[in-house]
Amino acid sequence: MLSNRQIFQMNMGLPSVVNDPIEITHAKGIYLYDDDGNAYIDLVSGVSVSNTGHLHPHVVAAIKNQLDRYMHTMVYGKFVQSPQTLLANKLASLLPASLDSVFFVNSGSEAIEGALKLAKRITGRTGMISFKNAYHGGTAGALSLLGHESLKQAFRPLLPDTRQLEFNNFEQLEAINCHTACVLIEPIQAEAGIILPEKGFLKALRQRCDEVGALLIFDEIQLGFGRTGSLFAFEQLGVVPDIICLAKAMGGGMPLGAFISSRNNMQTLTSRPELGHITTFGGHPVSCAASLAALEVLINEKLIEQADYKGSRFEDVLLSVDRVKSIRRAGLMLGVELDAEVPIGKLLKHLQKHKLIVDQFLFHEHAFRIAPPLTISEKETTEVIEMLLNALNTFEY
Ligand code: PLP
């Protein structure tokens, strides 16, 4: 194994578990393999990226097919790139009519940046509101709206005119007013440890935004593409946002993101200045081809419908484990909360020894994430649950 000192990627995980990272040589389905032939179970999916599993043949074939045609051609509307057109059409057909115009970018953070700029242009306002313990990305605008001081403090000054409210606090919605350009929210907070919205909270938020003319932006970067049991989480939450931000699983393993709104809204980015938002690689044809194929896999293999059942199997069994305090779950995305005295870093290493890869949340010290590829089969689920139980029950707490 080569030295990995030259890589400076903090997104490999939290320092408590990356002292001894595994070097992955190949991956297939729910399995990650290292140089020594060990097979690890991927219960993270690259943080909700690999929803269709690793190297799904349909996705790989689409990538290869596009590679043989072209990669980058030209941006700024000089050419139409057919993978983009096909994907935008497909997404629009799956979304409500008010979300029919797609701006492709490269990542989640970029999708947030684009959405924030769009909200400013549409409303002519500058105020931006988001929620405590929300993660929205590492770029300056996304960081300004991120809801945890630990990641922001060192980088101030950030964007002015921003404020974070408490998630699920109905009274604080009063802070949204006629100076507010937009409210950015993860409708289910992921990095906070899978925090679900209380009944009526998102509806009250929608109503308040409508009253004062603020735009509602949903960050579905981690939630989208089947993870929560519907293609997009908002479908089961009963509230349609003005702008939706997508990334992660969108690219089927390739880098891709998007912010999506109505055509009228998007038009505001085309005047004063004419190039209101531009990107060289956003919507790369190979990523779009992979994305379309991944979407087909999710739909054709009925993975979205199965996510809730698969998630419930993990939930039912893990609830019986002694030190498990509670489980919060959305589809096949679980936050397993342990008693506060359980040393979580040590537990994660123990699970890794048992060939199970799980990880911690950014903003919850006592919980770990379970979010395997949605392709995990019934048989694999049974095996993985058994491995988990065995590992958790042999850990010296
Ligand atoms: N929003 C949410 C909810 C996320 O989980 C993430 C990444 O973890 C982002 C935004 C940022 O996405 P990216 O890392 O692709 O910039």
- What is the CATH topology of the domain spanning 58-300? Aspartate Aminotransferase; domain 2 (3.40.640)
Residue 10 has pLDDT above 90, yes or no: no
CA nearest to 219, candidates 204, 202, 207: 202
Percent of the chain at pLDDT > 70 equals 94
Q: Which residue has tokens 């997009």?
A: 232
**CB 190 less than 6 A from any atom of ligand 1:** yes
Q: What is the pLDDT of residue 15?
A: 47
38 vs 24, 91, 389, CA distance in Å? Answer: 10, 38, 20
Residue 314 has pLDDT above 60, yes or no: yes
**CB 135 less than 6 A from any atom of ligand 1:** yes
User: What integer is the mean pLDDT of 55-75?
Assistant: 95
pLDDT class for 16, splitting at 50, 70, 90?
very low
Expressed in angstroms and rounded, the spacing between residue 140 Cα and the centre of ligand 1 is 13
The distance from CA 335 to its chain's CA centroid, rounded to whole angstroms, is: 14
Residue 21 has pLDDT above 90, yes or no: no
Residue 85 has pLDDT above 50, yes or no: yes
Domains of the chain, residue spans: 4-55+302-393, 58-300
Residues 163-214: pLDDT tens digits?
Answer: 999 999 999 999 999 999 999 999 999 999 999 999 999 999 999 999 999 9
Could you confirm whether domain 4-55+302-393 is CATH 3.10.20.30? no
The atom of ligand 1 lying closest to the CA of 220 is 3
Q: Please tell me the number of Cα atoms within 13 Å of 337 on its side-chain side.
A: 13
Span of 8-22, 117-131, 151-165, 280-294 with lowest mean pLDDT? 8-22
Q: What is the pLDDT of residue 80?
A: 83
What is the overall mean pLDDT for the chain?
94
Expressed in angstroms and rounded, the spacing between residue 229 Cα and the centre of ligand 1 is 19
The atom of ligand 1 lying closest to the CA of 134 is 3
**Its pTM surpasses 0.75:** yes
Range 86-94 contact pairs with CB under 8 angstroms and sequence separation of 24 or more: 86/288, 86/292, 87/283, 87/288, 87/291, 87/292, 87/295, 90/292, 90/295, 91/258, 91/260, 91/295, 94/231, 94/295
Residue 264 has pLDDT above 60, yes or no: yes
Dist. CA 376–CA 291, nearest whole Å: 19
